[in-house]
């Protein structure tokens, strides 16, 4: 993504603003709680920007987006049930609604394991993703701020060697 690599997921929109607002010292001392606190304050001040997401040539206008290679988000929460390091694609989670109430609803659905069942959330497979939005908006990867919009994300084949014990 824009010359940077990530392991499990990339986000633009609400979650990227949360990650960008987490204080490094708070993250060190509070761990996941630092993200929860940042999420609550971001909910109150995050506007309603729109992001243009191009997935293998198809264009979507959304309020937030998460590009997932792994199905777990923020520890134990499932954001994209079909996402896997072993799949030949990303699972792109598209959030159609913006604003504080929508952000809270998405957060509750994520905690309850129902995010993928919401009618205002689409999960689309793709191998080539472009995210456009407000210039300079943050993009997070694996819980850290990686770059700013626009972001070009593509799947790299054989980017890492994974060693696993036999099952």
pLDDT at 137: 96
> pTM here?
0.90
Question: CATH: 3.30.750.24, 1.10.10.10, 2.60.200.40, 2.70.170.10. Which one for 9-154?
Answer: 2.60.200.40
All residues at 6 or more sequence positions from 3 whose CB lies less than 8 Å from its CB, including other chains: none
Residues of the chain above pLDDT 70, percent: 98
Domain ranges of the chain: 9-154
List phi, psi (to 5°) of 33.
Answer: -60, -30
More confident residue, 3 or 70: 70
CA-to-CA distance for 113 and 92, rounded, in angstroms? 17
pLDDT at 152: 96
CA-to-CA distance for 161 and 49, rounded, in angstroms? 38
């Amino acid at each position: 993504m824009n010359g940077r690599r990530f392991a499990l997921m990339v986000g633009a929109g609400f979650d990227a603003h949360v990650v960008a607002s987490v204080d490094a010292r708070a993250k060190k001392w509070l761990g996941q709680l630092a993200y929860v606190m940042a999420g609550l304050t971001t909910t109150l001040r995050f506007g309603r920007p729109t992001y243009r997401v191009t997935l293998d040539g198809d264009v979507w206008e959304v309020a937030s987006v998460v590009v997932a290679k792994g199905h777990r988000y923020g520890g134990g929460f499932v954001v994209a049930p079909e996402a896997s390091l072993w799949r030949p694609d990303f699972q792109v989670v598209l959030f159609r609604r913006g604003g504080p109430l929508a952000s809270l609803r998405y957060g509750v659905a994520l905690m309850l394991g129902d995010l993928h069942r919401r009618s205002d959330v689409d999960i689309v497979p793709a191998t080539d993703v472009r995210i456009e939005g407000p210039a300079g908006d943050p993009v997070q990867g694996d819980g850290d701020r990686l770059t700013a919009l626009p972001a070009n994300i593509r799947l790299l084949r054989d980017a890492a060697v994974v060693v696993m014990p036999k099952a």
